[in-house]
Amino acid sequence: MAGDAPRVRFAPSPTGYFHVGSARTALFNWLVARQAGGTFVLRIEDTDAERGREEWVDGIISAMHWLSMDPDEGPFRQSERTARYHQAVDALWEGGRLYACDCTRDQIDARNKEHGIQTPGYDGFCRDRVVTREGHALRFRTPDEGITVVHDVIRGPVEFPCSAMDDFVAVKSTGVPLFVLANVVDDIDMTITHVIRGEDLLPTTPKGVLAWEALATLGWVTDGSTGGPSRPMPGLPVFAHLPMLVNEQRKKLSKRRDPVAVESYRDRGYLPEAFLNYLGLLGWSPPGGEELFDTAQMVEWFRLEDVNHSPAFFDVAKLTHMNGEYIRAMPFESFIEACGPWLTGPLAPWPEANFDPAVFAAMAPLVQERVAVFSEVPPMVDFLFLDQPVVEEEAWAKAVAGDELAGTILAAAIEAYSSLTGAWERDALHAATLAVGEGVGRKLGKAQAPIRVAVTGRRVGPPLFEALEELGPDKTLDRLRSALERLAAGSGR
Are 471 and 383 in contact, with CB atoms under 8 Å apart?
Answer: yes
Using rule CB under 6 A, residue 12 touches ligand GLU: yes
Q: For the CB of residue 33, give the shortest distance to ligand GLU in the complex, in Å.
A: 15
Backbone φ and ψ for 252, nearest 5 degrees, come out as: -55, 135
Residue 339 Cα distances to 269, 272, 326, 379, angstroms: 9, 14, 14, 12
| Single residue of 8, 20, 39, 45 touching ligand GLU by CB under 6 A | 45
Residue 158 Cα distances to 154, 203, 215, 312, angstroms: 10, 10, 22, 20
Using rule CB under 6 A, residue 24 touches ligand GLU: no
Site mask, ligand GLU, residues 177-206, x = CB under 6 A?
------x-------------x---x-----
Count of residues engaged in binding ligand GLU, rule: CB under 6 A:
7
DSSP structural state of residue 105: H
DSSP structural state of residue 303: -
Closer residue to ligand GLU in complex, CB, 148/476: 148
Of these residues, 255, 318, 446, 475, which one is catalytic? 255
Q: For the CB of residue 282, give the shortest distance to ligand GLU in the complex, in Å.
A: 16
Closer residue to ligand GLU in complex, CB, 98/201: 201
Closer residue to ligand GLU in complex, CB, 47/142: 47
Which residue stretch of 11-19, 272-280, 467-475, 484-492 sits at the interface with ligand GLU (rule: CB under 6 A)? 11-19
Q: For the CB of residue 15, give the shortest distance to ligand GLU in the complex, in Å.
A: 8
Residues 62/63/65/69 CA torsion (nearest 10 deg): -140
Which residue stretch of 5-13, 268-276, 307-315, 317-325 sits at the interface with ligand GLU (rule: CB under 6 A)? 5-13
- Which residue from 212, 203, 188 is spatially nearest to 92, judged by alpha carbons? 212
> Residues in the chain, how many?
493
Q: For the CB of residue 265, give the shortest distance to ligand GLU in the complex, in Å.
A: 20
Closer residue to ligand GLU in complex, CB, 45/403: 45
443 is catalytic: no
d(CA 487, CA 493): 7
Closer residue to ligand GLU in complex, CB, 6/12: 12
Helix-helix angle 473-489:464-471, to 10 degrees:
110
Using rule CB under 6 A, residue 11 touches ligand GLU: yes
Q: For the CB of residue 255, give the shortest distance to ligand GLU in the complex, in Å.
A: 13
- Which residue from 76, 13, 66 is spatially nearest to 39, judged by alpha carbons? 76
| Cα angle 10, 208, 181; round to 5 | 80
Catalytically annotated residues: 255
Name the residues that contact ligand GLU, by CB under 6 A.
11-13, 45, 183, 197, 201
